[in-house]
Structure 1
Amino acid sequence: MLLRKYMSLLGVGSALIDLILPKSHYHKGELIKGHFLIKGGTIEQRLRRIECDLMRIDHKTEKETVVDTVTILSSKVIHSEETNHLHFTFQLPETLTPSSQSISYRFKTRLVFNEGVESKDLDIIYVH
């Protein structure tokens, strides 16, 4: 048991997060509704927060910019092998530049624990 705890502190066997979206193409100003799927690891871990950033990537300059952030604070315990669903809503700004070969967007999600390595997820979306 002690070995599993130390392994999860290093990221091996820790809880995972996945942002589940109903589609990948959206219009400027559209309300995105999806959910976070959280899967428990080999031991229970106390969740501190979920951070989800909408990132704009300019491929010409290789610059990555945070457009907006959703943060969910929590003190929930994620039990071993447990699966949880948490609702996600995000309003896309009307001012977004449409996706192109030079501009792309993605959600960068992080599951942050009291102890251990944070879990990360990336989801590409296309804006029209």
Structure 2
Amino acid sequence: MILRKYMSLLGVGSAQIDLILSKDQYCKDESVKGEFHLKGGIVEQEITRIECDLIVTDHQSKEEVMIGSTSLLTSRKIKNGHLEKIPFTFDLPTELLPSNDKRSYRFKTRLTFSEGVESKDQDQITITE
């Protein structure tokens, strides 16, 4: 049991997060809906925060800019092997430019624990006119 706890502190067998979106193509000013899926690891862990940032990447300059962010502060425990679903909503700004071969958008999600390594997830979306 102690070995499993130390392994989870290093990120091996720790809880994972996955952002599941209802679709992957959106218009600017649309509301993105989905769920955070939290899957418990090999030991129970205390979750302190879920953060999700919308990032735009300019493929010519290689520049990444955070457009918006949402955070959920919590002090819940996720049991080993347990699956928990938390609703997600994000309102896209009206000034977004459409996705193309020079510009792309993604949600970057982080799950933070009271102890241990963060769990991360990335989900690409397409913005249309």
In structure 1, what is the equivalent of residue 44 of structure 2? 44
In structure 1, what is the equivalent of residue 82 of structure 2? 82
Question: How many residues end up aligned between the 2 structures?
Answer: 128
SS in 2 for 1:5: helix
Paired with 2:6 and 2:36, the residues of 1 have a C-alpha distance of 26
How well do the aligned residues superpose, as a CA RMSD in angstroms? 0.4
Q: Where do 5+ consecutive residues of structure 2 fail to align?
A: none
After the TM superposition, list the runs of 4 or more consecutive aligned residues in structure 1 that deviate by more than 4 angstroms. none
Paired with 2:51 and 2:8, the residues of 1 have a C-alpha distance of 20
**1:47-83 CA-partner distances (Å, limit 9, x unpaired):** 0000000000000000010000000000000111110
In structure 2, what is the equivalent of residue 3 of structure 1? 3
AA at the equivalent of 2:61: T
Deviation at 1:97, TM superposition (A): 1.0
Q: How does 1:57-96 map to 2 (within 5 A)?
A: 57-96=57-96
**1:83-127 CA-partner distances (Å, limit 9, x unpaired):** 000000000000001101000000000000000000000000000
Paired with 1:32 and 1:55, the residues of 2 have a C-alpha distance of 14
Paired with 2:33 and 2:121, the residues of 1 have a C-alpha distance of 17
SS in 2 for 1:122: strand
In structure 2, what is the equivalent of residue 27 of structure 1? 27
2:118 paired with 1:118: yes
Using the size of structure 1 for normalisation, the TM-score is 0.99
Using the size of structure 2 for normalisation, the TM-score is 0.98
In structure 2, what is the equivalent of residue 54 of structure 1? 54
SS in 2 for 1:85: strand
In structure 2, what is the equivalent of residue 106 of structure 1? 106
SS in 1 for 2:126: strand
SS in 2 for 1:116: coil
Paired with 2:42 and 2:76, the residues of 1 have a C-alpha distance of 16
In structure 2, what is the equivalent of residue 18 of structure 1? 18
